Structure formats: C-alpha cells, structure tokens
Amino acid sequence: MNERTIPDASALTGWRKSTYSGNEGGSCVEVLDCYPSGVPVRDSKASKNPALVFSAHSWTLFISSLRSIPRH
C-alpha cells in the first residue's frame, strides 16, 4: 500500500460513522468501505482534513482489539 493519507477527505463519498461514536457531537470517527488501497479513517468534525489510510489487515487487528475491551 503506497497511499497512507488522503489530503482532502471530503473529496470522497460514502463515509460511515463509527457505531462507537455517540450522537452528542463529540468524538466521531468515520471510515470508508471498499477503498482500493486500504481503509480510510477521518475525524468527522474535520472532514476536509486528511484521512489516514490503514491496510485492511491493520484495521481488522485494531477493531478486534477494541472489541476485546470490556464496555462499561
């Protein structure tokens, strides 16, 4: 994977908000499915800023780790 960032994340459509993000307008993470070179991730409050692009394998490991943390 050569691309590690997307300079203007607002140029892409189809972003979805993380199910862990609340509706209070606080910390919101969005991901983009079916991107050819990995999984783009952005801050929804700064949609025109760069998005980070993770390999699918790295993203899967990250999500698996989050799911293993007990929720209170």
In degrees rounded to 5, what are phi and psi of residue 17?
A: -80, 140
pLDDT at 2: 57
72 vs 17: CA distance, rounded Å: 21
User: Is pLDDT above 90 for 72?
Assistant: no
* Domain contains 42: yes
**Could you tell me where the DSSP H helices lie in the chain?**
56-67
> Facing residues of 68 across strands?
none
pLDDT in tens, 37-69: 999 999 988 889 999 999 999 999 998 998 898
* Domain contains 72: no
The DSSP letter of residue 36 is T
pTM of the predicted model as reported, rounded to 2 decimal places: 0.79
* Domain contains 9: yes
Q: How far is CA 56 from the centre of its chain?
A: 11
Which structural domain range is residue 32 located in?
A: 5-67
